[in-house]
Amino acid sequence: GENVEQHPSTLSVQEGDSAVIKCTYSDSASNYFPWYKQELGKRPQLIIDIRSNVGEKKDQRIAVTLNKTAKHFSLHITETQPEDSAVYFCAWTGGGADGLTFGKGTHLIIQP
């Protein structure tokens, strides 16, 4: 699959502050952009996703924005809490049968 660039690789924020993670993709045919959260020793779990006909989607403290022209999408977490500490992966699919391609992950650390 095509590459997904995910930044930053590590992000440390104070509890209560916001966190933003950005991913850039290369295939203009991509149409589905999920974000996964993985806690230590656990499986990745979907936290939010967005499709190419939508620019923004929100679910309580979590939001995802998509800029198809610039080929990037971002995860925004507001009012961060200790339980937000985890590794977050972006992913995208270009419509092919091979499914999702994942970024390399961002380790989010919430400082008390």
Partner 1 sequence: NAGVTQTPKFQVLKTGQSMTLQCAQDMNHEYMSWYRQDPGMGLRLIHYSVGAGITDQGEVPNGYNVSRSTTEDFPLRLLSAAPSQTSVYFCASSVSSYNSPLHFGNGTRLTVT
Binding footprint of partner 1 on the chain (CB under 8 A): 1, 6, 9, 31-32, 34, 42-46, 49, 51, 89, 93-105
CB of 32 to partner 1, least distance (A): 4
Q: What are the residues whose beta carbons fall under 8 Å from the beta carbon of 79, sequence distance 6 or more? A: 16, 18, 61
Task: Rank residues 58 and 79 by Cβ distance to partner 1 and give the closer one.
Answer: 58
CB of 97: closest distance to partner 1 in angstroms?
Answer: 5
Q: How far is the CB of 51 from partner 1 (least distance, A)?
A: 6
